[in-house]
Each structure stands twice: as C-alpha cells, then as structure tokens.
Amino acid sequence: MTKSKPGRSGFSGYILYKLSLTVLIVLSVAVTANGSDSPSSYVRRPQPPKKLNKPVVLLISCDGFRFGYQFKTETPNIDLLISRGTEAKTGLIPVFPTMTFPNHYSIATGLYPASHGIIMNKFTDPVSGELFNRNLNPKWWLGEPLWVTAVNQGLMAATYFWPGADVHKGSWNCPKGFCKAPYNVSVPLEERVDTILNYFDLPEREIPDFMALYFDEPDIQGHEYGPDDPRVTEAVSKVDKMIGRIIMGLEKRKVFSDVHVILLGDHGMVTNCDKKVIYIDDLADWIKIPADWIQDYSPVLAMNPRWGKDVKNPGQKNAELVRKMNEALSSGKVANGEFLQVYLKENLPQRLHYSDSSRIPPIIGMVGEGLMVKQNRTYVQECSGTHGYDNMFFSMRSIFVGYGPRFRRGIKVPSFENVQVYNAVAEILGLRPAPNNGSSLFTRSLLLPFGETSQVE
Ligand SMILES: [Zn+2]
C-alpha cells in the first residue's frame, strides 16, 4: 500500500492567504458593526476578479466507491472537498438495482431505472425479446441526461467514459474531442484527469459548462478481492490522488474557487462467498425451475418464465410460481432460503420504484446482503465482492460531496437518493430541467440561493 503525501506545497501559501483574508473580513465586519447599526453599511467580502465568469460543473463518479471507504486510509484531497463543501453525511443512496449502468444513468437523468429504461446492466426485453448489452441505440436510453439538457439549451458538455454518454440523443452527438468513448479500462486515470484539465486552457466561451468524468476504481479491485482487501484501500488512495490532481490542476489555472466539483459514486460493494449461496435446484421438491427462465441470478433474481402457448393465463401461473418458491424458501429445508424473497414485480416494495416498465421481467427475487443465487452446485467461487442488492443496505451506499460557489460550505446533509443530483446540476448551470423523479425543492438543501455564493477567496 502506498501512502505518499500529495504535493500540497501550493496549498500552504494558499491557506495562509485565505486565513489572513478571513481575519481581515472578521475585523472589517466587526469594525463596521461597531461603527454603525445600519445593515446597509456592512462591508462586503472582498471579491477578487473571477477567472471564470460562468458556472461550470465537473461531475466525477468513482465506480463502486462504497460509503466508508474514505475512512480506510488517508484521503486528504477528498477531505478538502468535504471540508469546503456539502457532504451526504451517511452517503449517497443508489437506485435499485444497485448496478453501474442503471445508477450512472439515474444520476445523469434524475430518473429511476423503470423510467429511464436501463433496468439492469444487461437484460432481455420481455416483450420484444431483444437483448440490451450496453448497446448504443438511443431507443434503449429514455429520459434526458445532463449532457443532452446542456447542449439542447445552448451550453457545452464534455464526457469521459460516463456510461450512456456515447449514445446520440437530441443535440448531443458525442462530439470527438469532447466525448471520450468507448470505455477503455487501460486508459490511465491520470490521462482522463488531464484531458478534463486541458479544457480549462481553452478560451472561456469554449470551456464545457458541464463535464462528466468516470473512474472505474475502486470498483475493479472491489469485485476482484472484496471490499475489505488491502488492494481496495490502495485503489481508494489512488482515487484520492486523482482528486488531488484535479484540485492542483484547477488551482494552477486559478479556477478552483470558481468550478463546482461534485464527487460521487454509483453504488457500494459487499463481500460474497461460496458458502452464502441459494441454489435454485434445491427448490425442486416444490417446483422445478428451468435455467432458461432465469435472466439473472444475483444480486437480483430476474425471472421470465416461458409457459408455452397452451397456458392461457401466464399471470396466474407466475403468481403460483412465486407462491411455491416462497413456500420452499421459508420451509427451513432450503439452504439459506431465508435470504431470498420472491415477488411478482408489481408487488415489490414501492420504495424500490421497480415495477413500472415492460422491460422489467415479471418475477424479481430480492437477495439477502452478500448472498448469491445459483442454479446448482457445479459452480464454486472464492470470496469476492459484488453489488446490485437492495438499495436499503448501507453496504450499497456511495459518497456524495458537492464543492463550489453554489454549494453550502462545510455542511453535512442527510443521505439522499442519487436521482436528486440532476436537478442540482441543472440549477447550478441555469438549465431548465427535463421531467424527472427528483424534487425541485431538494436542491435548496444542497445549494445556496442563486446570487449568493460561499466563496471568500
Ligand atoms: Zn459500478
């Protein structure tokens, strides 16, 4: 594990400058307050000329950054954003299923997966029978992501590997130079950061107003070794260094105090082991379930039974199947059966917002935290890490930090769902938001009113 100190020499002078400025402000306010009781005579905080005269948002996603990873090791750069910004106190709540594509697209659109259509990373549409496997055909990608909202309303956007950003929609055609795609794991994080930083060297009117940057760590290490492995700690440290690289790069260009940096993740990570498995074939005494009825085993059991043409009422057969499965699972005779609950999709808990789409298969099994579902015992796996479970589990939560002129400073807010992010970004950029599942009032808990800024630099 490497724990080198980030290069912060530029910061010490900066912090001294800030401290002296703060003293100056406190003194000037005190003097004014003594000298007059009229509020209009208060001396305003001195504002140096701004380098950037337009709002800019840099949205950064660290895939699989489970809430709490920031306590695994020193994260001075993330800490700096937290101390000067607004943080979700106990993490950002992902949407269900807590998978990468549904969540990145919920962050970008403010919609639940049932509404934006990306209901899993990979799925077969039960109606058309077509397979979605991260296809770029816009028919799969419903709703309006931030980069489309931005360019439709005359702003500029740039994306780097953000899932779904290479889909052509509205006025957005994934322009070369401002839309890095397709995703390529071998592109170093440094290169991704530097590409974003280079945009700030453009004349101001050409600097993208909205930028979305994607890091695939610490998700990769988390899957491979599980969330408690030292290699995950190392990946967290690496991500923090990338945040440091961004801060230093913005500092060097004298725009750090003008840019809104939103740091978040799509979901968390939990350990799963080969002993914590529910085998579908163990239910055979109650009901036989062929493997081709199952689209996905875990962490979400997704079933689309093929009853055959002679079955007149498949809905009734599905309900019967669900009843028999739950009877088996609660019998005490199926290993780990108590950790799987099967539902007709329309009976899933409302809080999951996971029924109102024809793409969602008719039967969904909610798998206990860290458990896996498999057809039979032919497959053995060592301990590793995964995500996709119920978004109620804390292990599925990620982080949220919002830093910049419009964010409240040094504030912690209660956890919220990531569908709220869209409205916040739209408000910062002065965009008319597309219809979404976030609350327009929610932005008030994160953002200062327009015209008021938190900056004292
Ligand atoms: Zn992910």
CA of 220 to the centre of ligand 1 (A): 9
Residue 411, H or E segment: strand 411-413
DSSP per position, 99-147 = -HHHHHHHHHHS--HHHHS--SSEEE-TTT-PEEES---TTT--S--HH
Cα pseudo-dihedral 206, 212, 218, 219, rounded to 10 = -140
CA of 219 to the centre of ligand 1 (A): 6
pLDDT of residue 454: 63
CA pair distance 429, 54, nearest whole angstrom: 8
Side by side, which strands form the sheet with 86-88?
Answer: 179-180, 157-160, 210-215, 56-62, 259-264, 400-403, 86-88, 411-413
Residue that the structure tokens 């028999």 belong to: 324
Ranges of beta strands (E only) in 274-361 are 277-279, 294-296, 300-303, 340-344
pLDDT of residue 14: 41
CA pair distance 52, 180, nearest whole angstrom: 24
CA pair distance 279, 377, nearest whole angstrom: 7
CA of 265 to the centre of ligand 1 (A): 8
The mean pLDDT values, 10 residues at a time, for the chain of 457 residues are 37 42 39 37 52 95 98 98 98 98 98 98 96 96 98 98 97 97 97 98 96 98 96 98 98 97 98 90 97 96 94 95 98 97 98 98 97 86 89 98 96 98 98 97 93 60
Whether residue 226 contacts residue 384, with contact meaning beta carbons closer than 8 Å, is answered with yes
**78: its two tokens:** 């993330």
CA pair distance 165, 1, nearest whole angstrom: 34
CA of 99 to the centre of ligand 1 (A): 6
Verify whether residue 100 is a known catalytic residue. yes
**90: its two tokens:** 């106990």
pLDDT of residue 1: 36
Residue in 75, 86, 98, 100 annotated catalytic: 100
CA of 59 to the centre of ligand 1 (A): 15
Amino acid identity, residue 356?
Answer: D
CA of 63 to the centre of ligand 1 (A): 4
Whether residue 96 contacts residue 118, with contact meaning beta carbons closer than 8 Å, is answered with no
CA angle centred on 162, ends 159 and 167, rounded to 5°: 80
pLDDT of residue 49: 56
Whether residue 432 contacts residue 153, with contact meaning beta carbons closer than 8 Å, is answered with yes
Residue that the structure tokens 């700690």 belong to: 233
- Give, as residue ranges, everything with CB less than 5 Å from ion ligand 1: 63-64, 100, 219, 266
Residue 159, H or E segment: strand 157-160
**39: its two tokens:** 């509020």
